[in-house]
Amino acid sequence: MELKKRNYIDGETQDPTYLGIQPTKNILTCDGENKVLCNRAEFCISLIDNGELLVNIWNLDGILLKFNNYGQRKTGYVEEEVLGKGWINKILPENHIPGLNEMFNVMKGGKIPPVTECKLYCKDGRDLDIMWSNYLMRDAKGNPYLAVSVGMDITELKNTTKRLTESYKELQTINNKLESAQQQLQDQLEQQNKIAYYDELTSLPNRSLLLQQLSSAITSAKLTDSKIALLFMDLDNFKDVNDTLGHNNGDELLKVIGGLFSKFASYNVAAARFGGDEFVLLIKNIEDKSVVVSLCNEVIEQFKKPVCVNNREFYISISIGAAIYPKDGQDEYTLLKNADIAMYNAKEQIGNRFILFDDKMNQRILEKLDIENGLRRALKNNEFIIFYQPQVNINYNKIVGLEALIRWNHPTQGLIPPFKFIPVAEETGLIVEIGEWVLRKVCEQFVIWENNRIAPKRMSVNISAKQFEQNEFIDIVEKIISETKMNPKCLELEITESIAMKNLDYTIKVINDLKRLNINTSLDDFGTGFSSLNYLMRLPINTLKIDKSFLDNIVLNSNEELIAKTIIKLAKKMKLDVVAEGVETPDQLNFLKKQKCNIAQGYLFSKPIPSKEVEDMLIAKRIFICRDDFTYI
Ligand code: C2E
Ligand code: MG
Ligand code: MG
């Protein structure tokens, strides 16, 4: 194999060797199957030219002696263009030149510089990234005389790394976005969970969560054969707080009370806001009912202290009903229902107390339900009738007025008095419809009597709290008056003292509205409530009806006598008519006469009677007292 006679020798040094390679020594290489002996120098040059690495051979002054084929292919420069200083001037960026000079200085000292990376400019303007390793060729004495730089094209690698870095960054951004989306989702879920299971106002568990807690408490109580207690609590007269102080204060109060209940919560006790002004305590693992009793007492005790809302102190009481698993209910709904029933019983007894559920309560509920259904039927089938009770001027035994009193003519039970059905009608709201029916019927009847010239001066009709509180109350009254052609001056609407005092400003407004329609108002059952005389003075009423209880116990120099006397005097001072209710005995009559209370109503004169019977009295205009059985002639 013949070695090409190319001049690899720097012109100046005229080194006869092929770049320091001993050309004489042969080495073995392969050509397919054939073993070939080739010249060592030729072999090396062939390697340099055909390998996939850039190879620069320099003298130690930085003069390029060889630029291999691969380098030429890569950069687009032929060797002749770059040998000597051409490489540095054309291919190497200017900012790398000082570094290269430094490198030759190092190599002159016999040291090998570290691997470096640099850019190269190609002939067509492209850039290449090359990683260089440098070697020294030494003579027999070990002195360096040539430098070899072997460069690997890492442009692709760098681009790939760059792309990979960018992709990694992108991935990281996506990952960050995903993480924040995940966080958002988690926050949303937590928020939704909060909304779904916690009460916004008090932050206590809500009805849904309570039901879940109760259901799992029952499951574990079944397994461990233990007992659970459920306290169902409702604030007394919370509606009044809302009505008088406004919903903002009402909400604030609920918040404070929610905080109070949350203090009862512990490992064994869960507190929840069931809705509105209803709260629940669920107590697990109770030994016996004494635990329930003491917890109820503790709650009631808490409520004896004033509650501070917006720097104002409020006293509010609570009614509690308690039911115990498994005795009072085997599932969450029955347990809740029975605790609620017990709570209603506590409420019926004026609240501020606790009652433990007992089976008889369900019986009473069923009776109530029966009445409610019956009342709906009664309205449809016209089963109500109106009785009238005369109001008498006791000086002349003259009928000056009538009070309309409803009766229920039940198809199987006969006449049912109002105290047996009015409370249920009130509770269910049916009283509004019933009351409207009464007012219309009474006005129609009065107009007939008026046309027959037997009508008395005053026709009194009882108005329930629910009717009075209705927004449309005045409109309804006005409509009935105009449709029945009732003389409004003869109509007197009776509201009880407790209704009147619920919301004094509202009461005054409604009474004034009635006044504008020429309708009078009377305060019924006066003396049974707790209204102060101050409040009474502010009410623009026409008549005061002294409650029967004052006359019942009138004995000379008794408290009742004193109170009755005072009320009569006061009413006269206020220029109000006074009607004494429930007059049964001649003694009571005499007392009233002495006090110059001129109008009375009671069994002494007449019980409430049907319209046909009262008509006879109206024709006679007078009433005659039969002292034995208090019937009239
Ligand atoms: P009230 O308005 O105070 O009516 C007087 C009640 O006292 C009537 O009872 C009457 O029968 C009774 N009473 C009158 N004089 C005597 C007496 O000398 N001795 C005794 N023991 N009782 C006497 P009643 O008719 O049973 O009505 C009870 C209550 O039911 C009424 O009390 C009133 O609050 C309510 N009520 C009656 N009718 C209606 C109505 O149409 N609408 C409304 N919302 N309530 C009504
Ligand atoms: Mg009345
Ligand atoms: Mg009364």
3-state secondary structure 97-147: HHHHHHHHHHHHCCCCCCCEEEEEECCCCCEEEEEEEEEEEECCCCCEEEE
25, two tokens: 């020594």
CA distance 274 to 272: 6
Rounded to the nearest angstrom, the distance between the alpha carbon of 604 and the centre of ligand 2 is 17
Range 32-61 average pLDDT = 76
- CA-nearest of 489, 371, 484 to 438 is 484
DSSP label at 2? P
Is it the case that residue 30 has pLDDT exceeding 60? no
Predicted pLDDT of residue 4: 38
Is residue 530 lining ligand 1, measured as CB closer than 6 Å?
Answer: no
Q: Mind listing the pLDDT tens digit for each residue in 429-456?
A: 999 999 999 999 999 999 999 999 999 9
- Strand partners of residue 323: 230
Is it the case that residue 381 has pLDDT exceeding 70? yes
Is residue 258 lining ligand 1, measured as CB closer than 6 Å?
Answer: no
Q: Mind listing the pLDDT tens digit for each residue in 325-358?
A: 999 999 999 999 999 999 998 988 877 889 999 9
301, two tokens: 């005790």
Is residue 418 lining ligand 1, measured as CB closer than 6 Å?
Answer: yes
Rounded to the nearest angstrom, the distance between the alpha carbon of 443 and the centre of ligand 2 is 16
CB 202 within 8 A of CB 259: yes
Predicted pLDDT of residue 43: 72
CB 394 within 8 A of CB 451: no
Predicted pLDDT of residue 551: 87
Report residue 554: phi and psi, to 5°: -75, 110
Q: Which of 129-143, 300-314, 485-499 shows the highest mean pLDDT?
A: 485-499
Rounded to the nearest angstrom, the distance between the alpha carbon of 461 and the centre of ligand 2 is 7
Is it the case that residue 20 has pLDDT exceeding 70? no
Is residue 609 lining ligand 1, measured as CB closer than 6 Å?
Answer: no
Predicted pLDDT of residue 7: 39
Is residue 633 helix, strand or coil?
A: coil
Rounded to the nearest angstrom, the distance between the alpha carbon of 15 and the centre of ligand 3 is 140
78, two tokens: 């032929």
Handedness of CA 136, 139, 143, 146 (dihedral sign): negative
Predicted pLDDT of residue 9: 37
CB 310 within 8 A of CB 253: no
Is it the case that residue 74 has pLDDT exceeding 90? yes
Rounded to the nearest angstrom, the distance between the alpha carbon of 365 and the centre of ligand 2 is 28
Residues in the chain: 633
Under 8 Å CB-to-CB from 58, ≥6 apart: which residues? 64, 65, 104, 146, 147, 148, 149
Question: What residue ranges define each of the domains in the chain, with the CATH number in brackets?
Answer: 16-153 (3.30.450.20), 207-357 (3.30.70.270), 367-632 (3.20.20.450)
CA-closest residue to ligand 1 atom 33: 462
Is residue 422 lining ligand 1, measured as CB closer than 6 Å?
Answer: yes
Is it the case that residue 394 has pLDDT exceeding 50? yes
Neighbour-count burial for 495-530, b at 16+ CB within 10 Å, e otherwise: bbbebbbbbeeebbebbeebeeeebbbbbbbbbebe
Is residue 608 lining ligand 1, measured as CB closer than 6 Å?
Answer: yes
Q: Please, is 152 exposed, middle or buried when counting C-beta atoms within 10 Å of its C-beta (0-12, 13-18, 19+)? A: middle
CA distance 154 to 83: 23
Q: How does residue 60 score in pLDDT terms, banded at 50, 70 and 90?
A: very high
Is residue 536 lining ligand 1, measured as CB closer than 6 Å?
Answer: no
Strands 54-59 and 116-121: unpaired
CA-closest residue to ligand 1 atom 17: 582
Q: How does residue 559 score in pLDDT terms, banded at 50, 70 and 90?
A: confident
Protein residues near ligand 3, an ion, with CB under 5 A:
524-525, 581
Predicted pLDDT of residue 193: 84
CA distance 76 to 96: 20
208, two tokens: 């849904």
Under 8 Å CB-to-CB from 397, ≥6 apart: which residues? 605, 622, 623, 624, 625
Rounded to the nearest angstrom, the distance between the alpha carbon of 600 and the centre of ligand 2 is 12
Q: Mind listing the pLDDT tens digit for each residue in 413-427?
A: 999 999 999 999 998
Predicted pLDDT of residue 154: 93
**What share of the chain in percent tops pLDDT 90?**
68
CA-CA distances (angstroms) from residue 39 to 21, 22, 23, 248, 257? 10, 9, 6, 105, 104
Q: Please, is 80 exposed, middle or buried when counting C-beta atoms within 10 Å of its C-beta (0-12, 13-18, 19+)? A: exposed
Is it the case that residue 19 has pLDDT exceeding 70? no
User: What's the mean pLDDT when you consider all of the chain?
Assistant: 88
Is it the case that residue 307 has pLDDT exceeding 80? yes
Which of 394, 405, 548 for mutating ligand 1's site (highest number of atoms within 8 Å of CB)? 405
Range 247-270 average pLDDT = 92
**What share of the chain in percent tops pLDDT 70?**
91
Rounded to the nearest angstrom, the distance between the alpha carbon of 191 and the centre of ligand 2 is 54
Rounded to the nearest angstrom, the distance between the alpha carbon of 462 and the centre of ligand 3 is 9
Is residue 542 lining ligand 1, measured as CB closer than 6 Å?
Answer: no
Q: Mind listing the pLDDT tens digit for each residue in 220-239?
A: 999 999 999 999 999 998 88
CA-closest residue to ligand 1 atom 42: 462
Predicted pLDDT of residue 241: 81
Q: Which of 47-61, 445-459, 516-530 shows the highest mean pLDDT?
A: 445-459
Phi-psi region at 285: left, alpha or beta (left = phi > 0; alpha = psi -120 to 50): left
Strands 543-546 and 520-526: parallel
Q: Please, is 365 exposed, middle or buried when counting C-beta atoms within 10 Å of its C-beta (0-12, 13-18, 19+)? A: middle
Predicted pLDDT of residue 12: 39
Alpha carbon distance, N-terminus to C-terminus of the chain:
162
Q: How does residue 625 score in pLDDT terms, banded at 50, 70 and 90?
A: low
